[in-house]
Amino acid sequence: MKQLKKPLPKVILIGAGRLAKHLGLRLKEMEVPVIQVFSRTKRKAQSLAKKLNCDATIDLKAISTKADLYILAVHDNAIGEVAAKLSSQKGLKDKLFVHTSGATPSTVFKPHFKHYGIFYPLQTFSTNRIPDFGQIPICIDARYAKDRKSLTVLAQELSDKVYPINDEQRAILHVAAVFVNNFSNHMFSIAAKIAEDNELPFDLLRPLLLETALKVQFNPPSKMQTGPAVRKDANTINQHLVYLEEHYLAYAALYQMLSESISK
Amino acid sequence: MKQLKKPLPKVILIGAGRLAKHLGLRLKEMEVPVIQVFSRTKRKAQSLAKKLNCDATIDLKAISTKADLYILAVHDNAIGEVAAKLSSQKGLKDKLFVHTSGATPSTVFKPHFKHYGIFYPLQTFSTNRIPDFGQIPICIDARYAKDRKSLTVLAQELSDKVYPINDEQRAILHVAAVFVNNFSNHMFSIAAKIAEDNELPFDLLRPLLLETALKVQFNPPSKMQTGPAVRKDANTINQHLVYLEEHYLAYAALYQMLSESISK
């Protein structure tokens, strides 16, 4: 039985990258009206607008004033500039503006708009993978309680996991996200390089990699640590360092620093 | 329709830790006869033997001579010692001995036995998780081609992914496995600590963590790299370093080294 519909905002998406695309598709799936898509790149604006069955524009001055919520899903360093340009347009001054960045404070909007906030889906989006959006944590913030409330209602339509996170917390969360995502992916890259340089297919390591991530879905990672460093197996560590120093000098330094960090 | 049964060896498991347990359960599941379990710890020997419906012993001298294959699933540094003790026993001299270690050369057996090899399931085993054993790569090696063949037949009963890997390759694979598993888990631990110190539940980061691992199941990790380091976003990197230097000095050094490694 369908529940009574909560009041949902009309949305305009500024940006048509991977995040904008997956967010837009989820908005459409949950019947939240997206009325326009902006991208500097015509092809991208049109492609996403077609998927969302709405207007496309490549001109910020042509952004409609008929929406309630303007979601800036653009590069971190473009948010301020886009906001400045939009603020010069009549009819947008009192709208609600949010961005989707983990690294940018909400106050980037302050010189330009009265109503602003954050709508940050904490996930990495690929072109060729469809995420389970209902499981993606969405971090919400807004300058005013009323806006925070309406963003929360919208976020809860899209995901089971909605968190109020202020600018300071979000900045810290972003540091942690770099460790979880960027640095662990770099570990995978190094492993792939070492393996493939030696005619060992990376497929040998993929099940281990996946299990490493699955294990910590229900356990704290610190309790799941295994390997030579945590068991202070100096013999194995030394063998590995001898090998790396000969073949991958830069990785040897990383190996040593990471092993010391683990064994502390 | 069940295929004609290939000739499978009678197995004795030396060791009753996590790997021995999951390997034993898989052997039983695939109807490979396990006739005895050894562990120095009576409780562990009996517990696993009960699961496998076979004999248990805590005495290496009581190891049966009726098996074809003796799988040493003990700590790396115990393999040589256990092999030495077993070699003094009449009736075992011509049996096939393998160990399950990624880090130990097969030649650890050379002073003690004629027939030896490797049976290395490349996975991390937890007490409370049941792995999909059919997807675990099993690395096989043996001194003699005939033994390699019979180990391959056995491994193919247990898993779809069986690889012949010699000692030198396995040592390199083990280095790569440390990066994939131990070091990435350490990245997760650091992220969890930073998050939880700041009253941010680690659950916020778990979907990102899992997606990071899922993305590289079908893509090369080097192509999946995202984040401030790979896009040379010095502004964000500096903000993160300022935060870490104030609150987590040791992590700041890691962050810097890893970012430099990524941006190379």
Residues of A in contact with B123 (CB under 8 A): 207-208, 211
Is B1 part of a structural domain of the chain?
Answer: no
Q: Which amino acid is at B42?
A: K
Q: Domain check: are A66 and A193 in the same one?
A: no
Tally of domains in chain A: 2
Q: Domain check: are B113 and B161 in the same one?
A: yes
Res. A170: pLDDT tops 90: yes
Q: Three-state DSSP class for B163?
A: strand
- List the single residue in B129, B176, B192 with the smallest CB-CB distance to A215: B129
Question: What letter would DSSP give residue B204?
Answer: G
| Overall pTM surpassing 0.90 (yes/no) | yes
User: Are B187 and A188 within 8 A, CB to CB?
Assistant: no
Nearest CA in chain B to A168: B198
Is B244 part of a structural domain of the chain?
Answer: yes
Q: Across chain B, how many H-helices and E-strands are there?
A: 9, 8
Alpha carbon distance A158, A100 (integer Å): 14
Q: Domain check: are A177 and A161 in the same one?
A: no
Are residues B106 and B143 in contact, defined by beta-carbon separation less than 8 angstroms?
yes
Give ipTM to 2 decimals. Answer: 0.93
Interface with chain B: mutation pick from A185, A233, A244, A261, highest number of B CBs within 10 Å: A185
**Half-sphere exposure in the Cβ direction for A238 (13 Å, CA):** 4
Rounded to an integer, what is the distance from CA A40 to the centroid of its chain?
21
User: Are B181 and A250 within 8 A, CB to CB?
Assistant: no
Percent of chain A topping pLDDT 90: 92
| Of B165, B200, B233, the domain-final residue | B165
Q: Domain check: are A131 and A225 in the same one?
A: no
Q: Domain check: are A23 and A150 in the same one?
A: yes
Q: Domain check: are A114 and A195 in the same one?
A: no
**Domain coverage including residue B39:** 11-165
Interface with chain A: mutation pick from B122, B199, B211, highest number of A CBs within 10 Å: B211
- List the single residue in B169, B226, B262 with the smallest CB-CB distance to A124: B226
Is A148 part of a structural domain of the chain?
Answer: yes
Q: Which amino acid is at B228?
A: P
The residue among B228, B212, B236, B204 whose CA lies nearest residue A125 is B212
Residues of B in contact with A195 (CB under 8 A): 172-173, 176
Percent of chain B topping pLDDT 70: 98
Is B5 part of a structural domain of the chain?
Answer: no
Nearest CA in chain A to B207: A136
Say which residue, B2 or B160, is predicted with more confidence.
Answer: B160
Question: What letter would DSSP give residue B5?
Answer: P
User: Are B221 and A185 within 8 A, CB to CB?
Assistant: yes
99-128 of B, contacting A, C-beta below 8 A = 103, 122-124, 126
Is B2 part of a structural domain of the chain?
Answer: no
Res. B2: pLDDT tops 80: no
Nearest CA in chain B to A250: B261
Nearest CA in chain B to A216: B206
Task: Give the residues across from A99 on adjacent strands.
Answer: A72, A118
192-251 of B, contacting A, C-beta below 8 A = 192-195, 198-200, 202-217, 219-222, 224-230, 233, 235-236, 239-240, 243-244, 250-251
What is the sign, positive or negative, of the torsion defined by CA atoms of B196, A190, A218, B19?
negative
Q: Please name the helix (run of DSSP H) or strand (run of DSSP E) that holds residue B210, with its range, or none.
A: helix B206-215
| Of B218, B236, B253, the domain-final residue | B218
Alpha carbon distance B97, B142 (integer Å): 9
Chain A nearest C-alpha distance from B85 (Å): 23
Instruction: Provide the CATH number for the domain around residue A63.
Output: 3.40.50.720
Res. B70: pLDDT tops 90: yes
Q: Domain check: are B17 and B60 in the same one?
A: yes
Q: Domain check: are B143 and B199 in the same one?
A: no
Q: Domain check: are B16 and B96 in the same one?
A: yes
138-157 of A, contacting B, C-beta below 8 A = 139
Chain A nearest C-alpha distance from B177 (Å): 7
Q: In which residue are the tokens 């000098």 written?
A: A249
Say which residue, B125 or A84, is predicted with more confidence.
Answer: A84
Q: Domain check: are A127 and A175 in the same one?
A: no
Is B248 part of a structural domain of the chain?
Answer: yes
Res. A149: pLDDT tops 60: yes
Enumerate long-range contacts of B149-154, CB under 8 Å, 24 or more apart: B150/B7, B150/B9, B150/B69, B150/B96, B151/B69, B151/B96, B151/B98, B151/B117, B151/B119, B153/B6, B153/B7, B153/B8, B154/B8, B154/B9, B154/B32, B154/B69, B154/B119
Q: Domain check: are B27 and B136 in the same one?
A: yes
A240-251 residue pLDDT tens: 999 999 999 999
Residues in chain A: 264
| Of A103, A132, A165, the domain-final residue | A165
pLDDT of residue B131: 85
B170-179 residue pLDDT tens: 999 999 999 9
pLDDT of residue A130: 85
User: Are A244 and B175 within 8 A, CB to CB?
Assistant: yes
Per-chain mean pLDDT for chain B: 95
Interface size A-B, in CB pairs within 8 Å, comes to 308
Is B6 part of a structural domain of the chain?
Answer: no
User: Are B205 and A161 within 8 A, CB to CB?
Assistant: no
A31-73 residue pLDDT tens: 999 999 999 999 999 999 999 999 999 999 999 999 999 999 9
User: Are A228 and B178 within 8 A, CB to CB?
Assistant: yes
- Residue B134 near chain A (CB below 8 Å): no
User: Are B184 and A230 within 8 A, CB to CB?
Assistant: no
pLDDT of residue B1: 47
User: Are A169 and B198 within 8 A, CB to CB?
Assistant: yes
- Give all strands (DSSP E) within chain B, no chain letters: 11-14, 34-38, 55-57, 69-72, 96-99, 115-121, 138-142, 162-164
Q: Domain check: are A48 and A127 in the same one?
A: yes
Chain A nearest C-alpha distance from B162 (Å): 9
156-175 of B, contacting A, C-beta below 8 A = 161, 163, 165, 169, 171-175
B178-237 residue pLDDT tens: 999 999 999 999 999 999 999 999 999 999 999 999 999 999 999 999 999 999 999 999
Alpha carbon distance A48, A16 (integer Å): 6
A215-259 residue pLDDT tens: 999 999 999 999 999 999 999 999 999 999 999 999 999 999 999
Instruction: Provide the CATH number for the domain around residue A185.
Output: 1.10.1040.20
Is A5 part of a structural domain of the chain?
Answer: no
User: What's the whole-number mean pLDDT along residues A14-24?
Assistant: 97
B140-170 residue pLDDT tens: 999 999 999 999 999 999 999 999 999 999 9
B83-105 residue pLDDT tens: 999 999 989 999 999 999 998 99
Output the DSSP codes for chain A.
Answer: -PPPPPP---EEEE--SHHHHHHHHHHHHTT--EEEEE-SSHHHHHHHHHHHTSEEES-GGG--S--SEEEE-S-GGGHHHHHHHHHTSTT-TTSEEEE--SSS-GGGGTTT-SEEEEEEE-S---TT----GGGS-EEEEESSHHHHHHHHHHHHHH-S-EEE--HHHHHHHHHHHIIIIIIHHHHHHHHHHHHHHTT--GGGTHHHHHHHHHHTTSS-GGGG--STTTTT-HHHHHHHHHHHHHH-HHHHHHHHHHHHHHH-
Provide the pLDDT confidence category of residue A128 given band limits of 50, 70 and 90.
confident
